[in-house]
Amino acid sequence: MSVVPDTVPGMDSASGELDERSVLAAARASMLAEKRAGCDLLIAAAQWADLHPSDSLLSPAERLDVYGEDAVLFGGAGTPDVAETAAGALGCEIGMSPDQGRNLIADALDARDRMPQLWTQIRFGRVRRDTVHRVTFRTRHLSKPQAGDIERHLSGSLPRLTLGQRLDNLLDAQIKRVDQERLEQEAAAAVRDRYVRKGRPDANGMTYLYFHTTEADARASWTAITTLAKILKARKDQLPPGVPVRGADAAEGRADGRDGLDEWRAVAAQLLQTNPGLAVRIQLEAHQPGLFDQAADTLTHLQDHDDHRPGSQDRWQPAQPEVPTADDQHEPATNNPATNNPATNNPATNNPATNNPATNNSATNKPGDEAADAVPHGSATDASAASTDGADAVADGVGADRAQDAASEAVREVVIAELVTGLIRQLDFTKLQPSAILHLHISDASLDGPFGPADPQARLARVEGLGPLYLDTVRHWLGQACTVKLQPVIDTGSITAVDRYEIPAAMRETLLTLSPASRFPWSNSLNRRNDLDHTIPYLPADRGGPPGQTSPDNLAPLTRREHRHKTFGHINVRQPDPDTRVWKTSYGRVLIVNPGGTYDLGTGNLARTLWDALNRTESVMENRIRRALDLIA
DSSP structure string for 474-489: HHHHHTSS----PPPP
Closest CA to 538 of 459, 601, 622, 478: 622
Write down the pTM of the prediction: 0.58
Residue 36: which pLDDT band, with cuts at 50, 70 and 90?
very high
What is the percent of the chain where pLDDT is above 90? 14
3-class SS of residue 380 = helix
Q: What is the pLDDT of residue 476?
A: 72
Which residues in 19-85 belong to E strands, given as ranges? 71-72, 82-83
Q: Which residues contact 129 (CB under 8 A, 6 or more apart)?
A: 35, 38, 39, 41, 42, 107
CA 195, CA 211: separation in Å to the nearest integer?
Answer: 6
Task: Report CA 419 to chain centroid distance, whole Å.
Answer: 35
What is the per-residue pLDDT across 317-355, written as a single tens digit (0 to 9) for each?
444 445 454 454 444 444 444 444 444 444 444 444 444
Q: What is the pLDDT of residue 633?
A: 47
CA 592, CA 578: separation in Å to the nearest integer?
Answer: 13
Sheet holding 467-470, edge to edge: 440-441, 460-463, 467-470
Start-to-end C-alpha separation, the chain:
62
DSSP state of 209: E
Bigger pLDDT: 298 vs 115: 115
What is the per-residue pLDDT across 480-489, written as a single tens digit (0 to 9) for each?
656 677 776 6
Closest CA to 56 of 68, 67, 44: 68
Mean pLDDT for the stretch of residues 499-509: 87
Q: What is the pLDDT of residue 523?
A: 87
Mean pLDDT for the stretch of residues 37-64: 79
3-class SS of residue 540 = coil
Residue 33: which pLDDT band, with cuts at 50, 70 and 90?
very high
CA 102, CA 111: separation in Å to the nearest integer?
Answer: 14
Among the ranges given (158-167, 247-256, 510-519, 609-618), the one the predictor scored with the smallest mean pLDDT? 247-256
Please determine, for residue 12, whether its predicted confidence score (pLDDT) is greater than 80. Answer: no
Angle (CA) 181-184-187 rounded to 5° is: 155
Computed over every residue of the chain, the mean pLDDT equals 74
Task: Report CA 345 to chain centroid distance, whole Å.
Answer: 101
Which stretch of DSSP H or E encloses residue 384? helix 380-426
Q: What is the pLDDT of residue 119?
A: 95
Please determine, for residue 592, whether its predicted confidence score (pLDDT) is greater than 50. Answer: yes
Please determine, for residue 510, whether its predicted confidence score (pLDDT) is greater than 60. Answer: yes
Q: Is the Cβ–Cβ distance between 534 and 554 less than 8 Å?
A: yes
Please determine, for residue 37, whether its predicted confidence score (pLDDT) is greater than 90. Answer: yes
Q: What is the pLDDT of residue 402?
A: 62
CA 124, CA 578: separation in Å to the nearest integer?
Answer: 33
Give start and end residues of each alpha helix (H) in 142-200: 144-154, 165-178, 180-191
Bigger pLDDT: 160 vs 16: 160
Residues 388, 394, 398, 400: what is their CA dihedral angle, to the nearest 10 degrees? 90
Mean pLDDT for the stretch of residues 68-83: 85
Residue 70: which pLDDT band, with cuts at 50, 70 and 90?
confident
The length of the chain is: 633
Separation in Å, CA 429 to CA 289, 294, 487: 14, 19, 21
What is the per-residue pLDDT across 127-159, written as a single tens digit (0 to 9) for each?
999 999 999 999 999 999 999 999 888 888 888
Please determine, for residue 168, whether its predicted confidence score (pLDDT) is greater than 70. Answer: yes
What is the per-residue pLDDT across 266-303, written as a single tens digit (0 to 9) for each?
888 888 888 888 888 888 778 777 666 666 666 666 56
What is the per-residue pLDDT across 515-573, written as a single tens digit (0 to 9) for each?
778 888 988 888 888 888 888 888 888 887 888 888 888 888 898 888 888 888 778 89
Please determine, for residue 226, whether its predicted confidence score (pLDDT) is greater than 80. Answer: yes
Q: Which residues contact 426 (CB under 8 A, 6 or more apart)?
A: 288, 291
Q: Is the Cβ–Cβ distance between 462 and 441 less than 8 Å?
A: yes
Mean pLDDT for the stretch of residues 14-19: 68
Mean pLDDT for the stretch of residues 189-213: 84
Separation in Å, CA 523 to CA 306, 341, 468, 526: 73, 129, 20, 9
Q: Is the Cβ–Cβ distance between 110 and 75 less than 8 Å?
A: yes
Please determine, for residue 77, whether its predicted confidence score (pLDDT) is greater than 90. Answer: yes
What is the per-residue pLDDT across 358-415, written as a single tens digit (0 to 9) for each?
444 444 444 444 444 444 444 445 545 554 555 555 556 556 666 666 666 776 677 6
Sheet holding 580-585, edge to edge: 571-577, 580-585, 590-594, 597-602
Bigger pLDDT: 437 vs 211: 211
CA 81, CA 56: separation in Å to the nearest integer?
Answer: 11
CA 292, CA 280: separation in Å to the nearest integer?
Answer: 14
Closest CA to 582 of 557, 610, 555, 560: 610
SS3 content of the chain, % helix, strand, coil (to 5): 50, 10, 40
Separation in Å, CA 622 to CA 348, 554, 574, 628: 133, 10, 10, 10
Q: What is the pLDDT of residue 335?
A: 47
The residues spanned by each domain of the chain are 20-178, 214-287, 503-632
CA 237, CA 411: separation in Å to the nearest integer?
Answer: 38
Handedness of CA 335, 337, 338, 341 (dihedral sign): positive
Separation in Å, CA 293 to CA 272, 414, 557, 582: 25, 18, 47, 60
Instruction: Report the relative pairing of strands 531-534 and 440-441 from DSSP bridges.
Output: unpaired
Angle (CA) 9-15-21 rounded to 5° is: 45
